[in-house]
């Protein structure tokens, strides 16, 4: 497998689409602002747009009755309107769609829009969502085995014709899925479990999506991933590190940045994965992750629906980050 990092000193950035409102606002009040952001940011440093994959708001504290966009149909909509972005998911719940169908959906979307895609996928975690929609919720070991089957099936369908893969839980036999993508989507696996999840990352991922809250914790997890890679005969440097933060608040002072998030539920329920402060402070926090090895960031800005946070980040933070 070729090194998906490409230029190892390049740092890339993605903008996370709001798929639900943390205050429970109706869709029509915030969706127009998503379109505004997509139009305004498409020629900036934000190369990738990221969508979460939930059927109800993806948080244990959110109200399941709030408006929630579905991942695949939302991606079709925006990739049609804005094909210059790459599109990825953080992360697709493997249980929601048969992997063979998921691979065919990706091939079709890429063929119709010309947009470059990343398959971000994980084993699924929100049990209440599974039960609500009638999906089985097996034990972690089974969900991880299903994930391993799924990523192998997707890659086979994109690269072989016909494709056959017999997994523990899923299978394809002499499957044709034309038109196959000329450039198969990268596979990004979101996992943190050190015995099962990171072993699957080591075997099959082009990218690893991590939410490790500190550089120190990421360094420790990376050490575990390195051990798994050594066991399967793979160089950990072949796997690009992607880090997502819950919210970014950037302002002239740390106190002002704190005010931006004081009523922000996303921050209140996930402060460990937040980045806030002056441009210099934000740069320093992110640089610490870069120094561990992160080369792609997923960002959500606390001042949405305003554009100022994202624009200021592009102008005052990005030029200072160094991956040497």
* pLDDT score of 220: 98
pTM of the model: 0.95
Structure token digits, residue 154: 């997707």
User: How many C-beta atoms lie closer than 10 Å to residue 279's C-beta?
Assistant: 16
Residue 6 lies in a domain: no
Q: What is the mean pLDDT of residues 22-36?
A: 97
Structure token digits, residue 158: 């994109």
pLDDT-based confidence at residue 262 (cuts at 50, 70, 90): confident
Q: Which of 67-71, 132-136, 246-250 comes out lowest in average pLDDT?
A: 246-250
Q: Among positive and negative, which fits the CA dihedral 41, 17, 189, 105?
A: negative
Query: Tell me, what CATH number does 261's domain have?
Result: 3.20.20.30
pLDDT at 124 over 70: yes
Cis peptide before 280 (omega within 30 of 0): no
Q: What is the pLDDT of residues 60-106, one digit of tens each?
A: 889 999 999 999 999 999 999 999 999 999 999 999 999 999 999 99
Residue 104 lies in a domain: yes
Return the DSSP state at 301. Answer: B
Q: What is the mean pLDDT of residues 207-233?
A: 97
pLDDT-based confidence at residue 283 (cuts at 50, 70, 90): very high
* pLDDT score of 268: 74
Dist CA 71 CA 77 (whole Å): 10
Average pLDDT of every residue of the chain: 94
Structure token digits, residue 74: 């939302």
Count of domains observed in the chain: 1
Query: What's the domain range around 149?
Result: 12-320
Residue 7 lies in a domain: no
Q: What is the mean pLDDT of residues 113-121?
A: 97
Beta strand spans in 137-278 (E): 163-166, 171-175, 186-190, 207-210, 240-244, 247-250, 274-277
Q: Considering only CA atoms, which of 125, 14, 62, 48 is closest in space to residue 270?
A: 62
* pLDDT score of 8: 55
Residue 287 lies in a domain: yes
Q: What is the pLDDT of residues 146-180, one digit of tens each?
A: 999 999 999 999 999 999 999 999 999 999 999 99
Residue 4 lies in a domain: no
Q: What is the pLDDT of residues 1-15, one digit of tens each?
A: 444 444 457 999 999
Residue 196 lies in a domain: yes
Q: What is the mean pLDDT of residues 236-256?
A: 94
């Amino acid at each position: 497998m070729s090194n998906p990092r490409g230029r190892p000193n390049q740092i890339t950035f993605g903008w996370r689409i709001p798929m639900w409102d943390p205050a429970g606002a109706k869709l029509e009040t915030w969706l127009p602002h998503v379109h505004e952001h997509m139009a305004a940011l498409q020629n900036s440093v934000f190369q990738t747009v990221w969508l979460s994959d939930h059927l109800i708001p993806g948080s244990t504290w959110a109200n399941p009755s709030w408006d929630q966009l579905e991942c695949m149909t939302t991606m079709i909509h925006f990739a049609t309107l804005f094909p210059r972005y790459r599109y990825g998911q953080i992360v697709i719940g493997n249980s929601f769609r048969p992997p063979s169908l998921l691979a065919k959906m990706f091939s079709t979307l890429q063929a119709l829009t010309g947009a470059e895609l990343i398959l971000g996928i994980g084993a699924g975690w929100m049990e209440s969502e599974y039960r609500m929609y009638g999906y089985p919720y097996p034990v972690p070991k089974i969900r991880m085995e299903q994930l391993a089957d799924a990523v192998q099936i997707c890659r086979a369908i994109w690269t072989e014709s016909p494709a056959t893969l017999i997994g523990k839980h899923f299978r394809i036999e002499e499957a044709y899925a034309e038109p196959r993508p000329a450039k198969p989507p990268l596979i990004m696996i979101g996992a943190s479990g050190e015995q099962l999840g990171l072993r699957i990352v080591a075997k099959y991922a082009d990218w690893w999506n991590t939410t490790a809250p500190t550089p120190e914790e990421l360094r420790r997890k990376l050490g575990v991933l390195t051990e798994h890679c050594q066991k399967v005969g793979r160089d950990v440097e072949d796997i690009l590190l992607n880090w997502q933060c819950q919210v970014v608040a950037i302002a002239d002072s740390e106190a002002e940045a704190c005010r931006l998030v004081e009523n922000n539920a996303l921050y209140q329920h996930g402060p460990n994965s937040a980045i806030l402060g002056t441009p210099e402070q934000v740069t320093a926090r992110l640089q610490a992750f870069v120094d561990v090895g992160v080369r792609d960031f997923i960002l959500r800005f606390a001042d949405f629906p305003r554009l100022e946070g994202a624009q200021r980040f592009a102008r005052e933070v990005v030029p200072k980050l160094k991956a040497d």
